[in-house]
Chain A
Amino acid sequence: MSDSDIEFGGENMGMNNIKVNYRKPAYLLILLNVLGFGLLFMSKDYNVNILYNGLAVLILFLIMYTTLVVCHMGDKFILLMTFMLMSIGVLILCRINIKYGFRQIIWIIVGGISFFIAYFIYYKVKIWEKLWFVYFITGVALFMITLLFGKTVNGSKNWVGFGTFAFQPSEIIKIMYIMCLSCYYCGTWSKPVLGKVSPKWVTLGITYVFVGFLVLQRDWGTILVMMSIYLFMVYVYEPDKKLLFTNVAALGIIGCLGYKFLYHIQVRISTWLDPWSDIANKGYQITQSLFAIASGGYFGRGLGNGSPYYIPEVHSDFIFAAICEEMGVFGGVAIILLFFLIAYRCFKISVMTDNLYDKAVSFGVTVMFALQTFIIIGGVTKMIPLTGITLPFVSYGGTSIVISFTSLGIIQAISAKTENKSEVTEHEGK
């Protein structure tokens, strides 16, 4: 058995000649799915649909994973870990409402397709670093669409609907923004705009234009993510440290002004500091989330034994609270660690690549994933003020899943470029 393992999974990893077994980690995921969905099947009155859902996740995983391994499409472990997150997500969604679980699988299929499309387009097309203007215009256009046709959900006007289908343009804008910034920071875009404005100030301007649009939409979570991406980018690439400090100071001032004049921000801060004084109204969401986490204890109340229904938005923003209630704080810690591992692998790709544009894009996307995770988990646990964004790969939501997969496809393409290049050089060396 072990022989065939090596034959199937063995792969030459660069110069180190380490044989990597790709089959064993897949068994882990299969085990997780069998145990999880089997348990839910038994606790939910033997509803066979649950087993179908679990099976669907597994089949999707096996198809995508095998394709990656067989076609040598870069890093294999990121997809493995995202599927682990997604399996837990689908499991909890099935537990909350089997309809969500089913629809999530549809989204994962769509996401999987867009993963491969994004992979191939990004892999083949070579002119990404010259298109900063396209990204900017697309971003602004999406913002305009949101403002004109958007509808307000939970206080944020960030949904655009066409009939029964609705999506969040801000998810796409984040990617556009990262690609736009990368154009400057990879060095290709050095010509001044309109004759005299240096691209440094143009990117700064774009950042604040986008943030301005987001303020109009009251989408504070995305603002936080976007500003953090900008600051981290400036930290990594800008030799002039003054820009970083000025921006931090400016953000501090804007934050204070916002707190002083914007009711929405005041409410968020005050319910963060003391949600207990108004449990019935303003503090309802966060206190319900804390009740769920506190009731779970270290090992949780058991899958199917909790009461996640009490938490509003439990299938999207608050899914982490439901995981903590039923799988315990240790379950929650496991989720955080999975995200940490994904961030680690992605940063590694970013460090390994020689292409400067790829480096900047993969860095930005990784920071986006990591911060989104930090902001929403910190929010639902009341460590930081709550701002509604989705937990990547776990929360229910079409746009979130599809865009996360697309971003992952880009990272995957970057990783594949590096890997194949090193293989080529190695062969040449021999």
Chain B
Amino acid sequence: MKVNKRIIRVLVCISLMFLVLITYLLWFNMFKSKEVSTNSYNKRQWESEQRVIRGSIYSSEQVLLAETEVQGDARIRKYPRRNLYSHIIGYCSQVYGKTQLEMAYDNELVGKGNISLSINEMRKGNNLYLTIIDELQEYAYDRLQGKNGAIVAIEPTTGQILAMVSLPDFDPNKIEDNWSSMMEDEKSPFLARATQGLYPPGSTYKIVTAAGVYDYGMTSEVFEDNGKFQKGDVTVHNYNKESFGTIDIKKAFEVSSNFAFCTLGYEMGAEKVKAEAEKFGVNKSFDFDIPTSESQIQYKRMTDLDAALVSIGQGGLVMSPLHVAMTASAVANGGKMMKPYLVEQVKTANDITIGQTRPSVLYDCIGSTCADYIEDMMIGVVEGGTGKNAQIRGISVAGKTGTAETDSGKDHAWFVGYAPAENPQICVAVVLENDGSSGGSTACPIARDVIRKFLSD
């Protein structure tokens, strides 16, 4: 019967509709549910916190950086140091969610997995103890004088972050009042420049190129520097269009000759320049307590001319200030790049340590003789080269300046250096975004002051 046949077809059609429903439901659960359930509007996320007082965060010298105040039913997250830690700790808002350490250490802060013995008593979350030295952080912050940019200070032998400043910033106490205006702000105050800003590193990258020179046995080369590297359609001038005459590699490093380093990069070729970059962690991401942007060489197919540009920290190469500090730290630490970290300890409310970060090697970048070779040249930069402004009486400082050209025409000023050279205790990277000045004149003194401040305390 025709009608029955059609009824069965309708049954098939309706079965298919139900099948689509089931498939959609499973698909949603597989691919969408994580994103949806972590949406800050999902009140379920805050339920566990209603029964817990979120833990506090302290600097390495036990200065209180974040705490939760209970006012009746309401919880207020307070940041006594205001803007100073906005790009490290982030914020924690019921409306706008959590960022940076507040997000990464959320489980620890709300004490997920802690065993509680009493049911009715308010539970307390765990406290975090950072590696940041509050005094140094504040000093670095003031020393940046409100300019856009970043300062990163690392202990080269352990990877501890001693200070990390990004400007512009925001006040995490007022996040709910100022959210929309900050979202639309052209200066993007929410961008943590030290970890997530990507800049051309300029001549500070010559540290990595110098490692390549050593590794590929090109250390004895001598150049006739006429101030201009010209190959194909690429022309690169030295800074201020200076020419340095006959120079060896050490001299070229000290005066930051683009001619010499472009030539070296061109001679090495794309493959080797890329391989050397990857030894230092370019094109790789690494685990850090807060999100980082991956430093990278942005070419689909890299030519030898591209390699020449990359060798002086231009072209398709971009790096985060944290990563630039890490490359210099690797040189300071005999060629071993330590894994950076921010959180030293996690302790319960009763002061029992439940988490302790131990230093670990991230990459074995170069051999120790190669590191010594580069260090020697970096000391030369500060003693008699472009980095004279970093000199500190009685302490030998090793460093490298950089002035990175940008599309906007205003250069980024760079300096990265460490001290004391014979027994490195601190490595500092400074970048001033679109400052228009040279690294030696503006970034250098800031780094020097931060190093001096640290060593004198």
Contacts and interface: CB of A to CB of B under 8 A. Distances in A.
A167 to B, nearest CB: 28
Interface residue tally on A, bucketed by range: 35 or more
Interface string B1-25: 0011011101100110110111011
Contacts of B44: 291, 295, 307, 310
A290 B34 CA distance: 11
Contacts of B3: 236-237, 359
A388 to B, nearest CB: 18
B11 A347 contact: yes
A301 to B, nearest CB: 9
A329 interface: yes
Contact of B25 (A232, A237, A333, A351): A333
A294 B37 contact: yes
B42 interface: yes
A396 to B, nearest CB: 22
Nearest to B32: A294
Contacts of A159: none
A367 interface: yes
Given A336-B22, A370-B14, A291 B41 contact: yes
A66 B282 CA distance: 75
B246 interface: no
A287 B35 CA distance: 12
Interface string A346-365: 01001100000001000100
Contacts of A297: 29, 33
Nearest to B15: A340
Given A232-B10, A291-B41, A383-B24, A307 B47 contact: yes
Contacts of B122: none
A340 B18 contact: yes
Interface residues of B, number: 30
A339 B374 CA distance: 74
A293 B22 contact: no
B112 interface: no
Contact of B10 (A236, A329, A377, A381): A236
Contacts of B28: 293-294, 329, 381
A359 B6 CA distance: 12
Interface in A267-301: 276, 279-280, 287, 290-291, 293-295, 297-298
Given A307-B43, A347-B10, A370-B14, A332 B4 contact: no
Contacts of B37: 291, 294-295
B62 interface: no
Contact of B17 (A290, A293, A298, A374): A374
B24 to A, nearest CB: 5
A343 B36 contact: no
Contacts of B7: 236, 347, 350-351, 359, 363
A381 B24 contact: yes
Contacts of A236: 3, 6-7, 10
A276 B42 CA distance: 12
Given A307-B47, A383-B24, A344 B11 contact: yes
B2 to A, nearest CB: 9
Interface of B: 3-4, 6-8, 10-11, 14-15, 17-18, 20-22, 24-26, 28-29, 32-34, 36-37, 39, 41-44, 47
9 contacts: A236-B3, A276-B39, A291-B36, A294-B32, A295-B44, A310-B44, A343-B18, A344-B15, A383-B20
Given A293-B25, A294-B34, 18 more contacts: A237-B6, A276-B39, A287-B41, A291-B41, A294-B36, A295-B33, A295-B42, A307-B44, A329-B26, A332-B25, A333-B25, A339-B18, A343-B11, A350-B7, A351-B4, A371-B14, A377-B21, A381-B24
